[in-house]
Amino acid sequence: MKKLTRPFTNAFLKKYSTSAVALDIGASGGDHREYFPNRTTLDVDASKNPDVVGDAHNLPFKDESFEVVVCSEMLEHAENSQTVIDEIERVLKPRGYVVLTTRFAFPIHDAPNDYWRFTPYGLRKLFSEFEIIEVATDGGPFHTIAVQLQRIIFQTDLPKIIKGMLYLVIIILPYLDNFTSHQYGNIGRTIEVDTMLSSGVFIAAKKR
């Protein structure tokens, strides 16, 4: 069963693909290469075989070294997210941009190094020193519920018959997002939002 989050994440990364000199934080060898072919990969875990073993809280690069920084599905695993973003800003060239994807409503993963979840508003706050290009999410509320159920299948020892039943529900649920024509950011239904619940949130932002 393919991860339901992957198509949305890949589509966002592809949108900002480039052959410019890039730093890919938290990427293993094959990740994102088709979108950012001229990249240096960095990870704190040497077993993932990155080009550079290093900590995103203290990037081992000179100021203004990269035209693009990619940070996909890593920020929730960083102890201090603002420090990581400040480091990204430091190594970006002027008017360079960062493409970042992370989790919002999502189960524990890669325990025990799973610390944070981010709303679109939280990411905007963290990137307040940048020029925001786009903030996006990966699907609507029913798709998000389907993602949760899929992770239950992945991360529990349920009987096969129950997993089979959940799989059928997972197939159906995302289609229900077609009926949520209006979504609200408060229970009083006075503040309309693009998506009230998503499993992930993405941002592209430019260094000022």
Same domain, 11 and 87: yes
One pLDDT digit (tens) per residue for the chain, 208 residues: 789 999 999 999 999 999 999 999 998 666 788 999 999 999 999 998 999 999 999 999 999 999 999 999 999 999 999 999 999 999 999 999 999 999 999 999 999 999 999 999 999 999 999 999 999 999 999 999 999 999 999 999 999 999 999 999 999 999 999 999 999 999 999 999 999 999 999 999 999 9
Its sign, for the CA torsion 74, 109, 54, 82, is: positive
186 found inside a domain: no
Q: Could you tell me if 28 and 111 lie in one domain?
A: yes
Q: Could you tell me if 25 and 49 lie in one domain?
A: yes
pTM over 0.85: yes
Residue with tokens 């129950």: 162
Same domain, yes or no, for 14 and 52?
yes
Omega of the bond prior to 112 within 30 degrees of 0, cis? Answer: yes
Residue 23 belongs to a domain: yes
